[in-house]
Amino acid sequence: MLETMLQAGRWLKSRFFPGALILLYHRVAELPSDPQLLCVTPGHFAEHLEMLKKRLRPVSLAEMRQALGKGVQTRFPVVITFDDGYGDNLHQAKPILERYDIPATVFVTAGQVGCEREFWWDEIERLLLRSGSLPESLRLSVHGNAMSWQLDGAVPYDEQRYRDWNVELQGNPTPRHTLYRSLCQLLRPLTESERCRVIRELQIWAGATGAGRLTHRVLSPDEIVRLTEGGLVDVGAHSLNHGTLSSLSVTEQRTEIEGSKRCLEKILGRPVKSFAYPFGSRSDYTPESLALVREAGFDSACANFPGTVWCSSDRFQLPRLLVRDWDGEVFERQLRRWVGG
């Protein structure tokens, strides 16, 4: 009898709560190349927000969580989130969010805050997919395995010629692109110390310094504080080093999850309540990850697989919809598909 009543209650909640969308962005920037498709131009981002304001009801992540708990009836809510914590989230995205008065949550990779180095995927791009010459061959030791690659005719490289190439395209136009894909796959599951060692070997091989590009830097502590000023933008945690949690031990996962929370709370001087799993597909975290996020004191966590958020959704595995650099017309069509009409 009790279970029947609980099921009826959940059904009634779902009838009154129409579901919500959580959108996943990374960057608002216009760059010479974007092989990971992380950037949305400022113009397109403004078109997205205009459409969201017109068709849906933009709310904060905290408001959405409250609506989920109460089953409150409202026009289809939508939440804006950003992963990683690039500097352009403050300097490009926030002014546009303020223009349209739309809230957002930025999930910051806390171990990168204030560092000169780039995210490891950006660093691989910086070393391999920019104009200039590289040695003809590369040899690396990864997890004790000796690996080698030949660059052949791609020793010199024309960045402008391949500026539109990205990882979703089939094939690799040069051996550099083959190497880029291989290294991204190899470094993804590594521990932070092992990944840093491989990156350093790559820098020495390429004759490059460790200082990153200003266009690819992460927010500084002061910028994180400025990002949250005014209350429109909130900050959540995104681990310390953006590793694949499912490839780490439980102890290493705890360090990544709890450490990111402590670091950001020290900067902000207040609790950080939301988390986003690095990469975020179901294979990128484990049941232990979910338990550790709960134990750390977060009240929700976002993943990276498509879906609508319902009252019955696991608040520690909230689905999100990945947004690309679409113009307003394409974004509107995509939005219609997501909301079902």
The model's pLDDT over 121-173, given as tens digits with 9 standing for 90+, comes to 999 999 999 888 899 999 998 888 899 999 886 778 888 999 999 999 999 99
Q: Does position 58 have pLDDT exceeding 80, yes or no? A: yes
Q: Are strands 137-142 and 145-150 parallel, antiparallel or unpaired?
A: antiparallel
Q: Where in the chain is CATH 3.20.20.370?
A: 18-115+218-339
Greater confidence (304 vs 11) lies with: 304
CATH of 18-115+218-339, one of 3.20.20.370, 3.90.550.10, 2.30.30.60, 3.40.50.300: 3.20.20.370
What pLDDT band is residue 74 in, cutting at 50, 70 and 90?
low
Q: Which amino acid is at 86?
A: Y
The residue assigned the tokens 């780039």 is 118
Three-state DSSP at 22 gives strand
The pTM assigned to this predicted structure is 0.92
Residue 258 and residue 293 in contact, taking contact as beta carbons nearer than 8 Å: no
Query: How far apart are the C-alpha atoms of 332 and 341, rounded to whole Å?
Result: 11
Among the listed residues 252, 293, 278, 270, the one whose alpha carbon sits nearest the alpha carbon of residue 112: 278
Amino acid 210: pLDDT:
76
Provide mean pLDDT across the span 177-196: 95
Residue 216 and residue 89 in contact, taking contact as beta carbons nearer than 8 Å: no
Greater confidence (76 vs 101) lies with: 101
Query: How far apart are the C-alpha atoms of 57 and 74, rounded to whole Å?
Result: 8
Amino acid 6: pLDDT:
43
Burial of 134 (0-12, 13-18, 19+ CB in 10 A): buried
Amino acid 330: pLDDT:
98
> pLDDT by residue (tens digit) across 303-312?
999 999 998 8
Query: How far apart are the C-alpha atoms of 296 and 261, rounded to whole Å?
Result: 8
Q: Does position 9 have pLDDT exceeding 50, yes or no? A: no
Provide mean pLDDT across the span 94-114: 98
Query: How far apart are the C-alpha atoms of 120 and 210, rounded to whole Å?
Result: 11
Helix pair angle (192-206, 175-187), 10° resolution: 160
The residues, ordered by sequence, that sit 6+ positions from 290 with a Cβ below 8 Å of its Cβ are: 301, 316, 317
Amino acid 244: pLDDT:
97
Provide mean pLDDT across the span 11-32: 78
Three-state DSSP at 216 gives helix
Amino acid 142: pLDDT:
87
Residue 21 and residue 318 in contact, taking contact as beta carbons nearer than 8 Å: no
Q: Which amino acid is at 190?
A: L
